[in-house]
Amino acid sequence: MKTLEFNGSGAEYFKIWIVNILLVLVTFGFYYPWAKVRNKRYFYANTCLEGRYFDYHATGKQLFFGYLIAMTLLIAYLVLEQVYPIGSVVMILLFFIATPWVMWRSMKFNLSMTSFSNVRFSFDGLLGGAYINYMLLPAVLFLSIYGVPILLAILLSMVDSPLTWLTILIAFLGVIVTVCLAIYLSALILKRNTAYAINSYRFGQGSLATNVETKEFSFIVLKTVGIGFLLGVASMVIITVLSVLLVGSQAILDLFNGLDDPEMLSSAFGMLSMILAPTYLMLIGSSLFLFAYFYAKKRAYVYANSTLDGNTRFSSTLRPGAYALVTLTNFFAVIFSLGLATPWAKVRVMRLILENTHVDTDSGFDEYITAKQEEQSSLGEQIGDAFDVDVEFGI
Amino acid sequence: MKILGRLYKEGSAAWSDAALTTHGEEAHVFVDEQSVLRDKLVHLIVSDRLGNVERKVIFTDGSVFATSDNDGIDRLFAGHRKKLSGLLHRLESNIRSVVIALLVTTLCFFTFVKWGIPWTSSKIAHALPFSVNELIAQNSLEFLDEYIFEESKLEKNKTDQIRAHFQKIIKPIEAEHADIVFNLYFRDWQTGEQGIPNAFALPSGDIILTDKFIELCSSQDEINSVLLHEVGHVLHRHTLERIIEATFVATVVMMITGDNNGFADIGLGLGSLLLSSNYSRDHESEADVYAFEQMLAARVDPKVFSDILSRMSTYMEEAKEQSTKQDWVDYISSHPSTQDRVEQALHYSECFKKGKLHCPPNS
């Protein structure tokens, strides 16, 4: 097993980052595509496996027209939103319909612009697959999460006596069924999305393949939900204890009694702000931890079950606690530095992730050769960027 | 001079250790002391320098020579590379230029947000035909009538009187701006049992006065001063400006978050909220100054404006104290800038007393 290395540094990236921002500002945003290329290249070209480097090959010029069109669409949307809200709703709808296409184009473009050891990646997933995985399946999930409780409510409203032990049992079962269904369907979507993406990745003439299963994903989702529940209960207990200790139970009672009296309310509100800060902290801490837990577990599972041509294997040893700690400290560093710590924060996360990524190859990489591919337009990629569509294809 | 690196065949992952040298206008690549590749320097593509990232020299046959010897490449191709890419690296590696970039960026950002956005928005708003304003205002009055306003309970001869004065003020203004038609409407606006005193203008030139406002006014001059303030909003196209400003702010926010994680959005959302309230304060004082200038020209003391403004604000304060069901949001939204506006009115009142027809605003 060989481990990926990251050769960049926060200080070096800071200089590149600040010069990028300066140039974007003085060119009224027109430099953005070039800045984006420099940012991306810095992270790709500093990523190394056994002396072989990744690289990002798109040029500012290639991104520029896609960028112009995407910005025009974004501005049109923002103007419509103010002037003619119905128009902006129609635009959101159109955009929603186009989202799988945007993600598909984005993956095609970005992978074709990425190389490892002088060999390009590519993406040959079908557009239909993108629509099934990024639109149809999430729609089914959405409908069933909302559909089951609604059906249940209709059913219960038809029963004459509303509160017998039978109806309570039905309601209870309904909640359980909904939760199970939601967990199962999320796991199914995770499996389908992962399989669609990874099985469509090509490295030169080689193919990546994965054999992830819904069952394993169900466990990961279930554990995440369980930990989330425990964290929620724990936070609530801590906040209650804290508020009684810090503010005193009398003040809390005053707060409820004072809802009608503005003067009393405002004084109670001042005291409340003392527990507001720790509450907010706990909320951020636990949501970051949950995200880190889910991400790390999912990553480890997917990497362990994917190969390149059956003879190159991957593994991820990213631990949820370490990842959560880095994202949490990054969060505060970025806020208290008014954004100036952003480059350092990004480098830190990148280093942690890469140094926990391992590759084991029987055949080596020398036999890989870039496969012929059509030129990809950057339009979808740039629209995705402008409208914040997350397309993830982690290395 | 010799640069050590690796030679890749086009699109191939395998490499051989190689050395690159130049002879006059030609580059030679040696593998095991054997010359394997030569090409004119002008035909080579050299990747931009970026930190200490591996540098790539691409030959016409697609072969790639990769090396970490960035300085060597810079020296070798000193005469042949695009000036611009070298400049970028010099900017990024020189600590003084980075500090300058940091300062200039902060300054640019501040200037752009403070003056650039409002200035550009105002220019764009005035470059558009006035019909855009009518487009925005379309159906607004119907909407307000349906959900917020009730019919005015004022006596007809009272409103006729106000209308007559309004026509007198508005005639010369309409003559100057042929594309705008001003209309006056009277409506009643109640929350709970209390009437709300207010006057506002739709971008199309429709001006609405509420019953409570008329009730609070003690003279026709006070009503006129507020009408002129509203006319100022319309002539400065403030609604349109606000829309354009909001678009700018949203675009800037998007460009910042595009490079950031989701948590930064929280801070940015708050920032853009403060920003837009700052812009709208600027609009208020701009409309005030317009009204004061008009009043000086018409020989009316601008003090009346401060009178009605203070009376409205006192009324709202009292209404709040009397009311039992007020939520704390109202405490935040009460106007903190009323004091500044009253002072500006008194400044113009001084000018009036000195008999001036024009007067620069007090900053």
Cβ-defined contact of B13 to A367 (cutoff 8 Å): yes
Highest mean pLDDT among A366-375, B7-16, B34-43: B7-16
Question: B109 CB near a chain A CB, below 8 Å?
Answer: yes
| Euclidean distance between CA atoms A84 and A69, whole angstroms | 21
Residue B26: name the closest of B16, B17, B15, B35 by CA.
B35
User: Is the pLDDT assigned to residue B135 strictly greater than 50?
Assistant: yes
A352: confidence class by pLDDT, cuts 50, 70, 90: very high
Q: Is residue B203 a contact partner of residue B137, using CB atoms and an 8 Å limit?
A: yes
Tracing tokens 């130049």 back to the chain, one arrives at B22
Lowest mean pLDDT among A58-67, A161-170, B7-16, B168-177: A161-170
Enter the DSSP assignment of B347: H
What pLDDT is stored for residue A193 in this prediction? 92
| CA distance, residue B101 to nearest chain A CA (Å) | 6
Written in H, E and C, the secondary structure of A299-320 is HHHHHHCEEECCCEEEEECCCH
Q: Please report the pLDDT score of residue B84 as a whole number.
A: 61
Residue B260 pLDDT? 45
pLDDT at site A255: 59
pLDDT band at B340 (very low <50, low <70, confident <90, very high): confident
Within 8 A by CB and 6+ apart from A10, the residues are A343, A344, A347, A348
Interface touch B260/A368, C-beta < 8 Å: no
Which chain A residue lies closest to B94 (C-alpha atoms)?
A15
Residue A111 near residue A55, CB atoms below 8 Å: no
Residue B4 Cα distances to B14, B26, B55, angstroms: 17, 17, 12
> Any chain A CB within 8 A of the CB of B147?
no
Q: Determine what percent of chain A is predicted with pLDDT higher than 90.
A: 42
pLDDT of residue B271: 61
**Buried-state track A256-272, b at ≥16 Cβ within 10 A, e below 16:** eebeeebeebeebeebb
Instruction: Determine the average pLDDT of the residues in A156-173.
Output: 74
Rounded distance between C-alpha atoms, residue A62 and residue A56, angstroms: 13
Put simply, the answer to whether B247 touches A18 (Cβ < 8 Å) is: no
Give the confidence band of B195 by pLDDT, cuts at 50, 70, 90. confident
**Strand A201-203, strand A206-210: pairing:** antiparallel
**How many CB atoms within 10 Å of residue A213?**
12
Q: What is the pLDDT of residues B279-298, one digit of tens each?
A: 778 888 888 889 998 888 88
Residues B282 and B122: their CA atoms lie apart, in Å, by 12
Residues B234, B205 contacting (CB under 8 angstroms): yes
pLDDT at residue B198, rounded to an integer = 85
Q: Express the helix, strand and coil content of chain B in percent, nearest 5 each.
A: 55, 15, 25
The confidence score (pLDDT) of residue B154 equals: 87
pLDDT reading at B334 higher than 50: no
User: In chain A, which residues have their Cβ closer than 8 Å to the Cβ of B109?
Assistant: 25
B213-234 pLDDT, tens per residue? 898 888 888 998 999 999 999 9
Nearest to A368 among B13, B256, B261 (CB): B13
CB spacing of B51 vs A16 below 8 angstroms: yes
> pLDDT: is A237 or B148 the higher one?
A237
Q: A247 vs A41, which has greater pLDDT?
A: A41
More confident residue, B173 or A53: A53
Average pLDDT over residues B307-332: 66
pLDDT reported for residue A116: 94
Q: For residue B268, what pLDDT band results from cuts at 50, 70 and 90? A: low
- pLDDT score of A266 more than 60: no
pLDDT, tens only, A304-336? 999 999 999 999 999 999 999 998 898 888 878
Give residue A323's pLDDT.
94
Please choose, from the candidates B94, B66, B56, the residue with its C-alpha nearest in 3D space to the C-alpha of residue A16: B94
In contact, A19 and B102? CB cutoff 8 Å: no
Residue type, B63: S
Name the pLDDT band for B270 (thresholds 50, 70, 90): low
Most confident segment among A21-25, B111-115, B348-352: B348-352
CB contact under 8 A, B102 and A386: no
Size of interface A-B (CB pairs under 8 A): 135
Asked if residue A76 lies in contact with residue B84, where contact means CB atoms within 8 angstroms, the answer is no
**What are the two backbone dihedrals, phi and then psi, of residue A313, each rounded to the nearest 5 degrees?**
-110, 160
User: In the predicted model, is pLDDT for residue A9 greater than 90?
Assistant: yes
- pLDDT, residue A227, reads 94
Residue A78 CB contacts under 8 Å (≥ 6 apart), including other chains:
B246, B247, B250, B251
Tally Cβ neighbours within 10 Å of residue B193: 8
pLDDT digits (tens, 9 = 90+) for A168-180: 887 788 888 888 8
State the pLDDT confidence band at B336, using cuts at 50, 70 and 90.
very low
Cα–Cα distance between A204 and A171 in angstroms, integer? 55
Q: What is the four-CA torsion angle of A175, A177, A179, A185, rounded to 10 degrees?
A: -150
Of residues B147 and B19, the one with the higher pLDDT is B19
pLDDT for position A254: 61
CA nearest to A60, candidates A21, A23, A85, A34: A34
Pairing outcome for strands B206-210 and B183-191: parallel
- Smallest Cα–Cα separation from A108: which of A208, A197, A46? A197
Q: A255: distance to nearest CA of chain B, Å?
A: 13
Q: Is the pLDDT confidence value at A137 over 70? A: yes
Question: What is the DSSP track for B38-98?
Answer: EEEGGG-EEPPP-TTPPEEEE-TTS-EEEES-HHHHHHHTTTTS-HHHHHHHHHHH-HHHH
- From the list A8, A369, A385, the residue facing B11 with the nearest CB is A369
Is 80 exceeded by the pLDDT of residue B261? Answer: no
B263 interaction partners in chain A (CB closer than 8 Å): 284, 331, 334-335
DSSP A248: -
Note whether B88 contacts A25, CB cutoff 8 Å.
Answer: no
Helices B95-111 and A10-26 pack at an angle, to 10 degrees, of 40
Three-state secondary-structure class, residue A2: strand
**pLDDT tens digits for B33-85?**
888 888 888 888 888 888 889 999 999 998 999 999 888 888 887 776 565 66
Side chain identity at A384, as an amino acid letter? G
- Lowest-pLDDT range of A58-72, A110-124, A380-394: A380-394
Does B144 contact chain A (CB < 8 Å)? no
Q: What integer is the mean pLDDT of A90-110?
A: 89
Q: Residue A376: enclosing H or E segment and its boundaries?
A: none
Above 60 in pLDDT, residue A395?
A: no
d(CA A168, CA A164): 7
**With 50 as the cut, is the pLDDT of residue B301 above it?**
yes
Listed as own residue / partner, the contacts of A133-139 with beta carbons closer than 8 Å and 24 or more positions apart are A133/A100, A133/A189, A133/A192, A133/A193, A133/A196, A134/A99, A134/A100, A134/A103, A134/A193, A135/A99, A135/A100, A137/A185, A137/A188, A137/A189, A137/A192, A137/A193, A138/A189
Of all residues in chain A, the percent with pLDDT exceeding 70 is 88
Whole-number pLDDT of residue B25:
83
In angstroms, the separation between the Cα of residue A369 and the nearest Cα of chain B is 4
Q: Determine contact: B219 vs chain A, CB below 8 A.
A: no
Distance CA A137, CA A129 (A): 11
Rounded to two decimals, what is the model's pTM? Answer: 0.73
Strand partners, B7: B16, B65
Q: What value does the mean pLDDT take over residues A222-226?
A: 94
> What pLDDT is attached to residue B283?
86
* A interface test, pick of B105, B128, B131, B328 with most A CB neighbours within 10 Å: B105
Q: State the pLDDT confidence band at A151, using cuts at 50, 70 and 90.
A: confident
At residue A147, the pLDDT reads 82
Q: What are residue A318's phi and psi, to 5 degrees?
A: -60, 125
Query: What is the pLDDT confidence band of residue A260, given thresholds at 50, 70 and 90?
Result: low
Residue A258 in this model has a pLDDT that exceeds 90: no
- The span from the CA of A187 to the CA of A199, in Å, is 18
Model ipTM over 0.90: no
Cβ-proximal residues to A64 (8 Å cutoff; 6+ apart), any chain: A33
Q: How many angstroms separate the CA atoms of A315 and A354, rounded?
A: 11
Confidence of residue A209 (pLDDT cuts 50, 70, 90): very high
Interface test with A, best of B6, B247, B266 (most A CBs within 10 A): B247
Predicted local distance difference test score (pLDDT) of residue B274: 64
| pLDDT at residue A390, as a whole number | 55
pLDDT of residue B181: 87
Chain A residues with CB inside 8 Å of B267's CB? 335
Q: State chain A's mean pLDDT as an integer.
A: 85
Q: What is the DSSP letter of B316?
A: H
C-beta separation of B59 from B47 below 8 A: no
Give residue B328's pLDDT: 37
Q: Hey, are the CB atoms on A32 and B251 less than 8 Å from each other?
A: no
Amino acid at B353: K
CB-side exposure of B6: number of CA atoms within 13 Å? 17
- Comparing CB atoms, the residue among B13, B109, B257 nearest residue A119 is B13
